[in-house]
Structure 1
Amino acid sequence: MITGERMAAVDANAAALGVPRKQLMESSGNAVAREIRAVADPGARVVVVAGRGNNGGDAFVAARFLDEYRVTTLLLGRAELIGTDIARENWDALRGADYDAREVTDSSGFDLPDADVIVDAMLGTGISGDLREPAATAARAINEADVTVVAVDVPSGFDADGGAHADNGIEADRVVTFHRTKPGLGDLAADVTVADIGIPAAAERFVGPGDVGLARPERRDGRAFVIGGGPYTGAPALAAQAALRAGMELSFVAAPESVAGEIQGYAEDLIVQPYGSDRLSPEQVDDLVDTAERHDDVVVLGPGLGTADETLEAARTFLESYTGPAVVDADALSIVPDLETDATLVCTPNRGELARMGGPDTDSLRETADEVADFAAELGHVVLAKGVDDVATDGERTRVCRAGSPGMTVGGTGDLLAGIVAALLEHADPLDAAAAAAFVNGRAGERLAPTASNGFLASEMLAEIPAALWGEADE
């Protein structure tokens, strides 16, 4: 089973793997045509009612595979407003090949021809809720017609993420859904066919641009609160700067007063909040929790903290008290396995830290991804394990990220990753945020590799994060 939102991401990943949406649309249309052949004999009258999105594009393709039928295609709206290039190309193909394809530009003029089969291709998985005009009028006419109704992917008005169906949605007799069934389709009074349209398994398994699209913030928003520093100062500064580069409005660093000035010196964009100690200790925890909770921060806990007993005890106390989202990295990871917390955690261990936490001790995270998933399930938190290939898992769902370059073995790239996760965690599901952050971090390293190869620094990757997160779709 797959949600409509996740399906859109998988489509984008498939395109990145070399299976473009246009090819998938051809397969989808062919699957719809096969369903029509299963319910109607050649010569039957088929009416396609299509919207201006890719759902309509699937139906335009289907019409070309039904030459043995009498097919009329009704486009709800003007052809120049068709929303995607591939759907428009398939509409133009119908018109250019002299198929019976008509525009319906006014819902008051909608006239449903006599039909033996009606194809509902008005709205796909990206739109749900009560139908508006002209789809509402068309749906009323379709539901009143005493004919077989075949829906493309989902019936119009059906929520492919939550399974709800609009009161004025299409009442389909049959549904041809693509790749996997969608939540709630099995509860409808309809026969559901799941059509394999050629999406490779890698489009779901491996993180790609579609995963970034799921987690990408639409606008700058939120505050990162990095609790780190003491023995080390560069790590919290890198994490905080990466959060800014990935969309946070503000990035705070809570650090010992003895190193606060040094951390501030890395970037004037950071807001450093010093506390009076050489290292994090339990005395600071109440104030830190209050700050984080009061401002709805996303916390990054661990970069540069060190492993002093009182510091680890403070980290434990913080997470036992805190109830918001947090990325746990570096030295703070050791306290997670025995932790009881109401916080939403994303843990970002490297291979060595993963083994010390009780996870698999492995040279290849990809080959042991199932073991990492088992460990995450036992831990009860999302794990983003860092290696040549990264593995993000919540114990039930697992993604493998292959993005990156050899130069990323330089120190600090893990701190960048923690900051990117924090920024995406402001908007996205924890697993989606972790998977997308791994890809963004890896792509930032790949963007530097052609010119710097193994010689670039983690700080130089900061400038590549925005392009890896937002810009590449436009390049």
Structure 2
Amino acid sequence: MITADRMAEVDRNAAALGVPRAKLMESSGNAVARVVREHAEPGASVTLLCGRGNNGGDAFVAARFLDEFDVRVVLLGRPETISTEIARDNWAALQTAEIQTRQVRDGSAFRPGDSSVGTDTERDGDTSGSADAAESDGPLADADVVVDALLGTGVTGALREPAATAARAVNRAGERGATVLSVDVPSGVDADTGESAGVAVEPDAVVTFHDTKPGLRERAAADEFAVTVADIGIPEAAERFVGPGDLRPLGRRRDSHKGDHGEVLVVGGGPYTGAPTLAARAALRAGADLVRVAVPASIAREVQGFDESLIVRPYDGDRIGSETVETVLDLAEEQDTVVLGPGLGDAPETLTAVETFLDRYDGTAVVDAEATRLVPEVTTDATLVCTPHRGEFAAMGGDPSGDWETRAAAVESFAAGLDADATLVVTGPEDVISDGETTRISRTGNPSMTVGGTGDVLAGVAGALTAVVDPARGASLAAWATGRAGDTAAETYGDGLVATDLLPVLPSALRDDETGSGGTGGRSDGSEGGR
């Protein structure tokens, strides 16, 4: 199964892999046409009721494959408001093919007994705007099959007008004996929950794409309709490999406030000053609103001097130890995520302090550098993201050898065997990210990133992202975006790249080149649809 949001991400990743969205729509429309043929004999009357998103675009395509039927395409809205270029192109193709189309701009045409259809326009001499036709739901009159392509999986909430009135008309057509086929999900039904906040289409069958949706399965079981899952050509790699589609959850609301997008505490330093600073600055560049750095007082001034945006919280001594763990735990209590490890070193008292911290901490922690070796033995209620390079993974007890597929299997098995709730990000030519159940691969990055400090940047980015999305997703995105930033920096610096070169390009690495933003800012409320 796949959720609506994840389906949108996979669709975008497929486009990034070179599978054009127009091709996916062509395959989807063909699949709809095949299911129509299963429910109707040649010559039957088929009306496709279409919204202005990609769901409607799928039906525009389907109409071109149904030349053995008496086909009519009804657009709910004006053609110039069709929301995507590929859907607009397929609407234009209907005009070229001289397929009968009609535009319905409000709900009056669907109300029984209401002949106020003056806002409708039609082609090819259609006369269904008459009062008699209006009494039998106007555009759906005498249809043997009604294809519901009003709204797709990307909508939630109650249907708004005129979609609500149109959905009621579809249901009346079904009561009269027409076969109702919904595209992807019945309009008005939440694809993830199966619930409807108001009126929803009641189909006889549904054709959905790539994989079934959680709510669709629930609804089909309750309402006893058939579901066809159509393969539309989305490659497995679109789910396996991290891509720009995974950026979708990072959109910000216009009414956001300070702190809404993450507060991160970096715990590091002692032997080193650069590592915790790199991690903290990376967390800021990756979108965290506030980043605090807990470091020994002996290096606090140097750390503060790197960046005035950092909030430095010094504690006594030259390194973290048993006497300072309580202070660090108090600092961590109010944070969304803790990044633990950059620059701490491997002194015995330091590792003991790290173990004590993890034993008592119950939030989300990104564990980096030498601290990762403790994870297989630690008992913790914390949710962990571990960012070892291959040598550190070996020190944890894992096997980093082999090609990426071999390493992916090894990392997944290792993560599954941990007592802690942990996601591993094992870096290499291909980064492997696994929580023991789901395993993703990131293919960004380059050999110039073997320079010291890039792992600290990764840890900071992971800290920022896991503050706003779930750990497995945040870890995957962190690996992908850090590698992407490294690729951009390498275009300028080549093998002279240093870790600080990644910082200024991290924001663009976390932005989708296609949409110009890091996300969509949320799902639609039902005003229009899409796949």
TM range (shorter): over 0.9
Letter in 2 for 1:275: Y
> 1:327-377 deviations in whole A, cap 9, x for unaligned?
111121122112222222111111111122122232544432022111111
Aligned equivalent of 1:358: 397
Q: Which runs of 4+ in 1 moved over 6 A?
A: none
1:190 to 225, 237, 243: 225
Letter in 2 for 1:371: A
Aligned equivalent of 1:159: 190
Aligned equivalent of 2:147: 119
Letter in 1 for 2:39: V
Identity within the alignment, %: 58
Aligned equivalent of 1:141: 169
Aligned equivalent of 2:266: 226
Alignment partners' CA distance in 1, 2:22 and 2:376: 46
Alignment partners' CA distance in 1, 2:435 and 2:197: 32
User: Retained in 2: the 8 A contact 1:216–1:424?
Assistant: no
Aligned equivalent of 2:81: 81
Alignment partners' CA distance in 2, 1:252 and 1:155: 48
Alignment partners' CA distance in 1, 2:367 and 2:227: 43
Does 56-65 or 218-227 show the bigger shift?
A: 218-227
**Superposition map of 1:171-320 within 5 A:** 171-187=202-218, 188=220, 189-215=224-250, 221-294=261-334, 296-320=335-359
User: Retained in 2: the 8 A contact 1:351–1:363?
Assistant: no
Does 30-39 or 316-325 show the bigger shift?
A: 316-325
Aligned equivalent of 1:460: 501
Is it true that 1:68 corresponds to 2:91 in the alignment?
no
Alignment partners' CA distance in 2, 1:214 and 1:221: 12
> 1:28-85 deviations in whole A, cap 9, x for unaligned?
0000001001110111111111111111111111111111111111222222221111
> 1:177-229 deviations in whole A, cap 9, x for unaligned?
11111113233121111111111111111111111224455667221110000
Alignment partners' CA distance in 1, 2:460 and 2:88: 41
Alignment partners' CA distance in 1, 2:481 and 2:190: 29
Letter in 1 for 2:21: R
> 1:287-327 deviations in whole A, cap 9, x for unaligned?
32222223x33111110011122222221222222222221
Aligned equivalent of 1:433: 474
Is it true that 1:47 corresponds to 2:35 in the alignment?
no
Letter in 2 for 1:178: F
Aligned equivalent of 2:456: 415
Q: 1:474 to 1:192 in 2, by over 3 A?
A: closer
Alignment partners' CA distance in 2, 1:414 and 1:198: 36
Does 402-411 or 145-154 show the bigger shift?
A: 145-154
Alignment partners' CA distance in 1, 2:360 and 2:70: 68
User: Retained in 1: the 8 A contact 2:194–2:217?
Assistant: no
TM-score by length of 1: 0.96
Higher relative contact order, structure no. (Cα contacts within 8 Å, ≥ 6 residues apart): 2
Is it true that 1:132 corresponds to 2:160 in the alignment?
yes
Aligned equivalent of 2:8: 8
Deviation at 1:165, TM superposition (A): 4.2
SS of the residue corresponding to residue 68 of structure 1 reads: coil
User: Retained in 1: the 8 A contact 2:28–2:209?
Assistant: yes
User: Retained in 1: the 8 A contact 2:192–2:216?
Assistant: no
Alignment partners' CA distance in 2, 1:439 and 1:217: 20
Task: Give unpaired runs (5+ residues) of structure 1.
Answer: none
Does 184-193 or 221-230 show the bigger shift?
A: 184-193
Does 38-47 or 356-365 show the bigger shift?
A: 356-365
User: Retained in 1: the 8 A contact 2:400–2:410?
Assistant: no
SS of the residue corresponding to residue 438 of structure 1 reads: helix
Aligned equivalent of 1:169: 200
User: Retained in 2: the 8 A contact 1:47–1:117?
Assistant: yes
Alignment partners' CA distance in 2, 1:251 and 1:312: 23
User: Retained in 1: the 8 A contact 2:244–2:512?
Assistant: no
Letter in 2 for 1:197: I
Task: Give unpaired runs (5+ residues) of structure 2.
Answer: 111-137, 517-531
Q: 1:163 to 1:413 in 2, by over 3 A?
A: farther
SS of the residue corresponding to residue 227 of structure 2 reads: strand
Alignment partners' CA distance in 1, 2:275 and 2:283: 13
Letter in 2 for 1:440: A
TM-score by length of 2: 0.86
SS of the residue corresponding to residue 281 of structure 1 reads: coil
Number of aligned residue pairs = 474
Deviation at 1:158, TM superposition (A): 2.5
Letter in 2 for 1:241: R
SS of the residue corresponding to residue 337 of structure 1 reads: helix
Does 349-358 or 398-407 show the bigger shift?
A: 349-358
2:388 to 337, 346, 349: 349
Deviation at 1:428, TM superposition (A): 1.2
SS of the residue corresponding to residue 368 of structure 1 reads: helix
Alignment partners' CA distance in 2, 1:426 and 1:82: 36
SS of the residue corresponding to residue 467 of structure 1 reads: helix
SS of the residue corresponding to residue 185 of structure 1 reads: helix
SS of the residue corresponding to residue 61 of structure 2 reads: helix
> 1:366-394 deviations in whole A, cap 9, x for unaligned?
43202211111122311111111001111
User: Retained in 2: the 8 A contact 1:366–1:390?
Assistant: no
User: Retained in 2: the 8 A contact 1:301–1:332?
Assistant: yes
User: Retained in 2: the 8 A contact 1:207–1:399?
Assistant: yes
Q: 1:164 to 1:430 in 2, by over 3 A?
A: farther
Letter in 2 for 1:174: A
Does 224-233 or 206-215 show the bigger shift?
A: 206-215
Alignment partners' CA distance in 2, 1:133 and 1:344: 44
User: Retained in 1: the 8 A contact 2:315–2:327?
Assistant: no
Alignment partners' CA distance in 1, 2:360 and 2:203: 50
Letter in 1 for 2:501: E
Letter in 1 for 2:366: V
Letter in 1 for 2:85: D
> 1:108-144 deviations in whole A, cap 9, x for unaligned?
3333332111111111111123222221111111112
SS of the residue corresponding to residue 184 of structure 1 reads: helix
SS of the residue corresponding to residue 314 of structure 2 reads: strand
Letter in 2 for 1:436: L
User: Retained in 2: the 8 A contact 1:282–1:314?
Assistant: yes
Letter in 2 for 1:48: L
Larger Rg: 2
